Amino acid sequence: MQTVNIHEAKSQLSRLIEAAVGGEEVVIAKAGTPLVRLVPVDQKPKLRFGLMKGKIRITEDFDAPLPEDVLATFEGR
């Protein structure tokens, strides 16, 4: 863990950002008292196809026409 005071953080922000992105914990302090932790923004997880395989079931009639009473609620009949 790397702890730096605000003044040093302002003058070396690029280096501290690179350290945080590289996995190093960077703490910024004021007068020696830790105030904040510099951490990288989480990246979106990559889309994994097949993640729900076997957990979702689609019935044979999923695209069958809706019953008249249900259809009427959508069409304002």
Give the model confidence (pLDDT) of 18-74 as tens digits.
Answer: 999 999 999 999 999 999 999 998 877 778 888 888 998 889 999 999 888 988 888
Kindly state the helix (H) or strand (E) to which residue 68 belongs, with its residue range: helix 68-75
Predicted model pTM: 0.53
Residue entry with tokens 């019935």: 59
DSSP secondary structure of 9-66: HHHTHHHHHHHHHTT--EEEEETTEEEEEE-PPPPPPPP-TTTTTTT----TTTTSPP
8 Å CB contact between 37 and 10: no
What is the tens place of the pLDDT at every residue in 59-69? 999 999 988 89
Domains of the chain, earliest start first: 2-38 (3.40.1620)
